[in-house]
Amino acid sequence: MQKYQFSNVFWRKVREDMKMEILLEKKPLKQFKLYELTEDEMNINLDQVTQWSPDNEKIYKNISENGFADFICNKEYMIETYTNIVFDSEDITLMDNQLLQFKNLQLLRLNHNKIEIVQHLPQQLVELHLFNNPIITLNLLKHNLQYLGLGYCLLNDDAIQSISKFLPQLIGLDLAHNQLCDLEYSVEACKKMSNLKMLSLYGNPLVLMPQYFIYIVDNLLNLRNFDEQSFLDIKNRLEQAEKEKQAKKQEALRKQQEELELQQKLLADKNKKGGKPGKQPDPVIVQQPQVIIPIDEPKINLNDLRQFKITLKIQTLENLEGILLDKYTYPSMEQNSRLFQSKYIISTNLFGIELKTKEIQYETATIENELGRVDFEYCFEQLYNPDVEIRDAVEQGFLITVSVEEPKMYIAEDGEKKPVMGQDEFPEQQIRILGVCKITCDWLRGYNKQFNKKYRLFKEDTKTSAEHWFPLENEQDLIQNKMEMIQKEKEAELEEKKAQQALIDQKKEQSKGKGKDVKKKDDKKNVKKGKDEPVQKVVGQLDWEVDSRQYIYVNEKKVHRATDMLLAIALDLGY
């Protein structure tokens, strides 16, 4: 493990990149200039060495003027010279005590390493970047560090308390994408850092709380930048949202007041015309407008900081194919109708977490082609604690599966579709998946807490296709190149439907010639409208923007196509 210490990586870089094969421990008593060197003679890649420290340009110039002299090639000189060091992705596991010798070091960046303990900070250090390290312990002492970057480090709520205790002079703190779950606890720690101007907490489970931005704005008044946004812009946005909310409340109260006044007037007119003499109209209490609470003085229930609610509402906007059964032909249906119906099932998963399964029974499932009809809808609400498991699930998104459990059907000799009956004289059931879709939103940055959108369902096999969730950059070009293959697939499906219809027509013709008294089912008598009865259209929320994605490119031999079904999905995160 020793070769992955900070000091070992540093001296390896000096030897290999700066070409200092021999290094003295201390500076010599006298400086002896050797001779000037050309770029070829030095053999140092200046662009490469300045990437891990701009101070190398100064050392490079010194070597070119004096050669590899002893007063340059020694550890004491090198340690004194460096003020800025960047060792990203160097597999460093330990910040060893040699770091304390870098008396002039002001910026240290050790991102994407394997550091578990933060320790041995040089006294003059101003900025420390440790993003994406599996940090377990913050072994800190009192220090005047001004910026600390610890994003993607698996830190829990206790870490922010240690930071506020030992680094009270911090101006900037980045703790994005860690495991902070307690919003109140974290804010109280940040209050102890009176100079704090920049703070990033997005990506933590606590971001899922509906009062996230409001609580930050109310309690950390000195901030200038929060979650990579202007603090003032956030505050103005919240104030505007609160004004709009209160305006809607006032408008609702105004309408309510108008209705009450109208009722009072109608009652007075009625009493004047036909009421008993001297009888006064019943008193009507007019509700007064509520007082608007300004955003500067919000009243937050602390319970709202410990749980959040996911509200998911789903509607179908195009008709599902139904199965029409006749209770007169199948007497058992009247007593056991559920076994003869189509049962539609919507399964909702937040990746790795089962949310809810909704089953919808149809008395008769319509096959009418009514534009914008909402065949079914359901809504569920569920409370969650802001923990790491739910954060990771939300980050991956929701997976919606729509399937149908229905009787198995066959084409009878008379050409009609009939259910396959089991030994118990009830139809055998089968489950058919109609399609799947995935929905994602940028909740982990604290905004986009709700949205309405329409999604197309794709076939079931898209669940195993990574491209379904993360489109390729050149996906549309690839699909365009494969349009001929897609067209052939469509034509093959059309030919298969034609063949099935031809088989049905053939059996119908054969049944006509047999002279049998075949009892016809009047399946659609409950569905068809009379000639004089207007057909009522149930219009869905078609003003929502439709997800325009029609195809998913997987490879040259496989392209997923969207089904004809649309799901209107409304998501809300909060109370």
**Alpha-carbon span 441 to 447, nearest angstrom:** 9
Token couple for 373: 């009809």
Contact present, 408 and 431 (Cβ < 8 Å)? no
Q: 234 — phi, psi (to 5°)? A: -60, -45
Helices (H), 167-278: 183-191, 212-219, 231-274
Instruction: Please write the tens of the pLDDT for every residue from 472-512.
Output: 778 888 888 889 888 888 899 889 888 888 888 887 787 76
**Alpha-carbon span 517 to 414, nearest angstrom:** 11
Contact present, 171 and 190 (Cβ < 8 Å)? no
**One-letter amino acid identity for 412?**
A
**Alpha-carbon span 166 to 171, nearest angstrom:** 13
Token couple for 139: 């072994």
First to last CA, the chain: 50
Residue closest to 574 by CA, chosen among 101, 117, 207, 153? 207
**Alpha-carbon span 209 to 449, nearest angstrom:** 10
Residues 6+ positions from 200 with CB-CB distance below 8 Å: 151, 173, 174, 175, 176, 226, 227, 228
Q: Please, is 488 exposed, middle or buried when counting C-beta atoms within 10 Å of its C-beta (0-12, 13-18, 19+)?
A: exposed
pLDDT in tens, the chain (575 residues): 455 899 999 999 999 999 998 899 998 888 888 888 999 999 999 999 999 999 999 999 999 999 999 999 999 999 999 999 999 999 999 999 999 999 999 999 999 999 999 999 999 999 999 999 999 999 999 999 999 999 999 999 999 999 999 999 999 999 999 999 999 999 999 999 999 999 999 999 999 888 899 999 999 999 999 999 999 999 998 888 889 888 988 998 998 888 888 888 888 877 776 655 555 555 544 444 444 444 444 455 555 567 888 888 887 776 554 444 444 554 554 555 555 566 777 888 876 677 777 776 654 333 344 444 556 777 888 888 889 988 888 888 888 888 888 788 888 887 777 788 888 778 888 888 888 988 887 778 776 667 788 888 898 888 877 777 777 778 888 888 889 888 888 899 889 888 888 888 887 787 766 554 444 444 444 444 444 444 444 444 455 677 778 888 888 888 888 887 888 888 887 65
Residue closest to 160 by CA, chosen among 133, 183, 181, 190? 190
**Alpha-carbon span 229 to 481, nearest angstrom:** 41
pTM for the model: 0.76
